[in-house]
Structure 1
Amino acid sequence: MEKSPTSNVKGIFRRFSLFSKDDGHITKKQSLWSLKSSLSEDKDKKDIAEKFEFEAKEIPLTPCSVLQIKDYIQTDMLKEAYLNLLSLRLELRLEQSSLGERECHSNLDNKKKDLDLLYDALMDKMSAIVRNSSGLPSCNKELLVYVSCIILEEEKKQGEPGAMEGWREAWKEAVLNGVRDTLKNVPLDSREQNASWLAVHLGLLGKAVVEDLERVKTELLSSYPADFNVLETYVSCHHEAVGEHLKRLLLNVTELKDYYALLDFIIHRYPSDLREQQRALIMEEDLNKIKTSYCHCQKEDFKLSLEKCILLETEVWKKKKSPERTEDGFLTSKIHVDICQLIAGYYGNLQKIDENLGKSVVSSCLEELNPFFTRFEKEFSQQIVSLLNSDLLDYCLWVEYHITYINSFSSLKENLQSYKDSCSAQVEKEVDGLTQRLRQCLMDHFKSEVKPYMDGMMTKKWLKSDADFNEVVSRIETYSGLCKSMRAPSAQMFVDDVHYYVAKEYVSQLMKKKYSCKKNKNEDAAIKIKKQWNELRKLFVEMGSSLKWLYPLGNYLSDIIGMEIEKNIKDLLNPLVTDYPDISKKHLLAVLSFRDNGFSLEKNSVINRFTVLKRDAGNTSHQYSFFTDIE
């Protein structure tokens, strides 16, 4: 059966045990000639035997001088140096043995010091050879064979007087230093030379690690016996050296893309076979610091991007550009699209590296939306306020801008639902608050437009003219058209707000005692109220108001006002109190006063009936409230 190169080398180590004890005396165990002969006789070891090329001579009976041995070491003649060191060690022990335990000789002390210094020099030289064997396209593998032979031979002598320890540890340290040297030679541009300096360097670093370990497998394994665990040692040393290298690189990392490149390398691109077999490249504490720094940088980057979004929208306002529309006719801007794309990009980039980090980054960025909404709203209000003092087209543009951002931020909230785990309730609250304030701003201006015309109703002038009412209708119709470009649910809320306000203001005019019908004018007023109320009803039905419970009220009130016989009004009270239980005696008196402010017993009869109905109803709660809002 053919033997492997590794087993051949192992045989060399077994035959390179040059000394043993025999009856208490140190003797030479095997000559170098017999070592060479045994190698030559084994045909399977021919290639290794040719590396050694030992001369046929035994260990020198008399070692050469210290200077000569030192020269052998310095010139990489490990065989000659080691054989003479063994001879020198044997000579020293024989001399010590002949002197006895109590005798002392200064010459022996000097010789021992020389021997120790030469062994130190040999260990240093062997470490240098091992260190230099890393990262080189080729090396003197025969020297590595001698290194491993010497290490094994010295390990056999552990425990003997004067034996030097730490050979295997020195070899491992030399391997590690060699790997460190290899990594130092990986090209590293400065940030000024290359904006992608770190990503490029880490790519080259990973390539260098893989190539170096491939070279170890193909070129260095045959120089060592199996128990050296060469490949495992080199893998471990690469792992340690790369970790050290990354910590040094981290000192110069300040930008987001560089933190990303570092995390990508550590978690994703570092060779998987190395990552799975070893401990973490860097301590978890350091990795968490990188992640925290990444989150901070990403948040600052997101903040700057949000500021750019505001600047882009500011250009739209300054140039009075009309908002864009979606295919289904809704007003919209790109602001929510840009924000969502930013967040999706952050999460997508990190998901393949570390999903939890992706969630942390998204959560961190979403927190930055809270102050962004405040900054946006302030800038928006300041920039477009001038549109209100201009012509009708500018005013319509002012309204369209509000609807645009109501739609955009409502869409933003919908998109944020996909990050429910990372999105705090505060963010959703802030979005809702902003869209509600934008709607309220529209509502306030609608109120300011219709209020003067509402105040002109329920008067003698109103009874003769529909001018004020027509102005109210005109403005409702204008806002109705604009609301068609507003998305649900904001559109529904706005329509309901308009409906409630118009109904409340219309009824409120009856309560202000501005006018009292005389000479049967109550019938004309009742007819007008019913007609106008039904016209408003038709408008709000078309607009899609959900406040259907308001529709009967105008008819109830007009019936009371138009009743010819006052005492019969009490028969009309039951549905009014049932459907609008928050109506008070004060409210009913105001309606009766509008009908006729004169005193009559019949009016007292109506009030008494109302009191009974309210008492019988008790404190029954009702789903809706209306009269409570009317003073």
Structure 2
Amino acid sequence: MLSPRTATSGLELQSPEEPAKLQTPARGTRKASSGDAPGSHPSEDARPGLGSLRRVFSRTSQQASGQGPEEDRGLFQRSSRFLFRSLRRSRDDGATTDQSQAAAVPGVARGPEVPSRIVDGGSRRSSTGVGSEKLESETEGKSVADLITERQLLAAFEQLRQLETRLVAEKASHTFEQDPTGFARRAMDVCLHYDGLAAEIRAIVRETLGPARVDAAALGELARVVRAEEAAHPAPPADGDFLLTPRRWRQHWEDAVRTSAQERVRAAAAEAPGPEGAAGLARLLAQLGGAVRSDLHKVRREVQPAYSAAGFPAWEAYLRAFHGAVAQRLQELAQDARGCEQLYVLLDWAANVYGSPDFLGTPDLTLSTEPLPPLLAPAVWARLESDYISFLETKITSCFDSILQLEQSRWAGAEAPDVLQGLYHTPLSIDVHMLVAEHVKAAGAISAELEATTLRICTRALGLFLPRFEKAFLESKAVSEPHLGANINACEELRTSLLARFPGTFEELEKPLVAATCTFQKRLLQGLQDDVQPLFRVLCTKAWLTHDVLQPLMNKVVTFAHHLEHVAPLRAQETLQEVHRYVVREYLAQVLRPRERFRGEERMTSSQKMGLDAQAIGDTFQGLGSEATWLDQAIPCVADILGETYKDDIQRHLETLIGSYPDIRRDHVLAILALRRLGRRRNQRLLQHAQSLLRAAGKAGGSGGSGAAGGHVLFEEIEVPASVDLLITCI
């Protein structure tokens, strides 16, 4: 009597979305019928029922038809794996039944097992099952797995396509109504072999950019099999049959290209050890750029021809893949960038190195016809620029501090300024020019907006630096004619060159630069005034009548003028004219405030002496190059009034004096008339006439009082004693 054998109810396959929720099969025992032959196959009772498999495939098809394009691949991979696990459990249950039956009935042989070769991810797996077929080529005698291993992808696909077509036809003819497990095994074999082909495609792409030479045959085979699959599965079937669903190998290939590019980019970054900071970042980016350039050269020269022979657009795909990988890596580096130098290295590399049309190095490498997305997201780029500007403000201020410290060290070392091209020279202007030009040029290479911002930063920093520099110099012990001349030259050079090089930007600096220049000019004049002021005190004295006391004064003026030869011509002329005006003004001040009053012959002698001095002063300054010829009439007019023997002509001399110097005041006229002692009535008449001339001159000049014609000022700065009116009335 036969012993009872274990029977399993139909194993119901679950939805692919719930692969873990397998129902535990209900187990029970039943007596074998007397009609059961000892040689009957024990696995027939262990297979899932036809109704269960129909429900599984029905649900699978419905869910597959409702999934989006990105979920289809995972869906069928999960379906294949689930079928494999389910059928393996069925096979294990069948094997248990066989063993129990074999133990109960000695001599009963187990059913034959037919191997089925399965490839998953490029490796082959063997599985056994009753009634399974060998996936072998009928023409070449090779299985699909062997063809995949040998990378005969198109032949493998053609055989697999034949098996798929045959399986679909058998399913349509209801061949598997009595054997749903057999259909599931064969469908699983087809799916797993498709997965093996996809894995081999990924492996070929991953090896393409390696150190070995490009396998052009493998790439051509890859392109042809992808196009063949697209032609075989142009669209999802209307009935939702998962066997005929497109495998999307082109998408697999593009994903593999992107993964390969990311691996190459990260490997290039990992191979660039070096110093930290901006230098290390620059070296890393240089290594990255070189690796990307080398890989794209290889793609263009070796990979693209192999693909293009099969009509496959490899260049654009690799270009987009590397662009995306570089963008991802650069965004990661941007998160860790610190300091002005590192931020600029990133911005400069993105804008000028990678963004350059010469990045790929050869004319035959062109960018994609489709525009690539920005290397850095707009928000990331804006953040980098903002951080860079903040650090730049601090850096430029620090650079100006360093320039001031260098100048102070030269002052402390009592270093005389150099003479370059005939002018006193200080490195100040060169340092400022280099500082501004360097940062503006660097910013302009990135963007016009950043260049304009950098110019504004430099303008503000230089405007704050000038007063500090001026104050520090005037408080130092280095104040001398050469150093003052060098600083005047530096300010003049900055004013002219910066305005010419950056028009429309540094206009606001013109006023502080001119103010600093004027300050240095005044300090230069003050040194001369302090030196010659005592020499004016001997004028208009009895010793002056008999001695040439003016010559020592003019010698000092000539010595001072030699320093002006090394000053910028425009500023030197201004300073020389100011010295000329100072000498004439101080001479007249001594005449109008005489220490001794001359009468008779002494007055006539003093008039002649003044004429000679005026001639000497005019000749000296003319020889030095002074263009202030308007000063030449002042001393001679006063000398003529002082020495005029015909008193009625004094009015004519006054008219000449007032016409030439409209800034003269009533007090000055009184002081001049007091030198002659003409009498009260004549003095009052001359004074009234002079006042009418002064009023007319004031109206002509557009002012209500005394003024200087053409900006010339002479008498206005001469102080006269307040007792002159009393002197006039007492005469």
TM-score of Structure 1 vs Structure 2, range by shorter chain: 0.7 to 0.9
| In 1: Cα distance, 2:183 partner to 2:534 partner | 118
Deviation at 1:279, TM superposition (A): 3.0
Please say which of residues 290-299 and 305-314 is displaced more in the overlay. 290-299
**What is residue 118 of structure 2 aligned with on the other side?**
69
Correspondence 1:465-484 to 2 at 5 A: 469=550, 472-484=553-565
Contact 1:566 1:603 (C-alpha < 8 Å) held by counterparts = no
Contact 1:458 1:510 (C-alpha < 8 Å) held by counterparts = yes
Aligned partner letter, 1:233: A
**What is residue 382 of structure 1 aligned with on the other side?**
475
Which of 298, 310, 328 in structure 2 is aligned with 1:244?
328
Deviation at 1:238, TM superposition (A): 2.5
| In 2: Cα distance, 1:463 partner to 1:65 partner | 142
**What is residue 291 of structure 2 aligned with on the other side?**
208
Are the structure 2 counterparts of residues 104 and 323 from structure 1 closer, same or farther at C-alpha, using a change threshold of 3 Å?
farther
Contact 2:206 2:260 (C-alpha < 8 Å) held by counterparts = yes
Contact 2:307 2:313 (C-alpha < 8 Å) held by counterparts = no
| In 1: Cα distance, 2:410 partner to 2:597 partner | 53
Q: TM-score, normalised by structure 1?
A: 0.73
**What is residue 202 of structure 2 aligned with on the other side?**
128
Are the structure 2 counterparts of residues 141 and 271 from structure 1 closer, same or farther at C-alpha, using a change threshold of 3 Å?
closer
**What is residue 413 of structure 2 aligned with on the other side?**
319
Structure 1 residue ranges without an equivalent (≥5): 1-63, 388-397
**What is residue 49 of structure 1 aligned with on the other side?**
none
**What is residue 185 of structure 1 aligned with on the other side?**
267
Number of matched pairs: 552
Cα deviation, 1:332-373, whole Å, max 9, x if unaligned, reads 233334444555666778888889977876675465433333
Deviation at 1:603, TM superposition (A): 1.6
Contact 2:220 2:310 (C-alpha < 8 Å) held by counterparts = no
Contact 2:219 2:306 (C-alpha < 8 Å) held by counterparts = no
**What is residue 717 of structure 2 aligned with on the other side?**
629
Alignment partner of 1:91 is 2:167:
yes
Contact 1:526 1:562 (C-alpha < 8 Å) held by counterparts = yes
Alignment partner of 1:233 is 2:317:
yes
Deviation at 1:495, TM superposition (A): 0.7
Structure 2 residue ranges without an equivalent (≥5): 1-112, 125-144, 702-708, 720-731
**What is residue 544 of structure 1 aligned with on the other side?**
625
Deviation at 1:405, TM superposition (A): 1.9
**What is residue 271 of structure 1 aligned with on the other side?**
360
Aligned partner letter, 1:180: Q
| In 2: Cα distance, 1:65 partner to 1:371 partner | 92
Correspondence 1:166-185 to 2 at 5 A: 166-185=248-267
Correspondence 1:453-602 to 2 at 5 A: 453-454=535-536, 457-458=539-540, 469=550, 472-512=553-593, 516-518=597-599, 521-596=602-677, 599-602=679-682
| In 2: Cα distance, 1:403 partner to 1:599 partner | 52
Alignment partner of 1:442 is 2:518:
no
| In 1: Cα distance, 2:350 partner to 2:414 partner | 45
Please say which of residues 148-157 and 452-461 is displaced more in the overlay. 452-461
Contact 2:662 2:698 (C-alpha < 8 Å) held by counterparts = no
**What is residue 79 of structure 2 aligned with on the other side?**
none
| In 1: Cα distance, 2:653 partner to 2:178 partner | 135
**What is residue 37 of structure 1 aligned with on the other side?**
none
Correspondence 1:359-378 to 2 at 5 A: 365=458, 368-378=461-471
Which of 428, 434, 441 in structure 2 is aligned with 1:335?
428
Contact 1:221 1:231 (C-alpha < 8 Å) held by counterparts = no
Q: Which has the larger radius of gyration?
A: 2
Are the structure 2 counterparts of residues 543 and 284 from structure 1 closer, same or farther at C-alpha, using a change threshold of 3 Å?
farther
Q: Which structure carries more relative contact order (alpha carbon 8 Å, separation 6+)?
A: 1
Deviation at 1:609, TM superposition (A): 3.2
Aligned partner letter, 1:128: R
Alignment partner of 1:159 is 2:236:
yes
Deviation at 1:132, TM superposition (A): 1.1
Aligned partner letter, 2:236: G
Contact 2:352 2:446 (C-alpha < 8 Å) held by counterparts = yes
Deviation at 1:402, TM superposition (A): 0.8
| In 1: Cα distance, 2:420 partner to 2:471 partner | 26
Deviation at 1:548, TM superposition (A): 0.5
Deviation at 1:439, TM superposition (A): 1.0
Contact 1:69 1:84 (C-alpha < 8 Å) held by counterparts = no
Deviation at 1:266, TM superposition (A): 1.9
Q: TM-score, normalised by structure 2?
A: 0.64
Are the structure 2 counterparts of residues 122 and 318 from structure 1 closer, same or farther at C-alpha, using a change threshold of 3 Å?
same
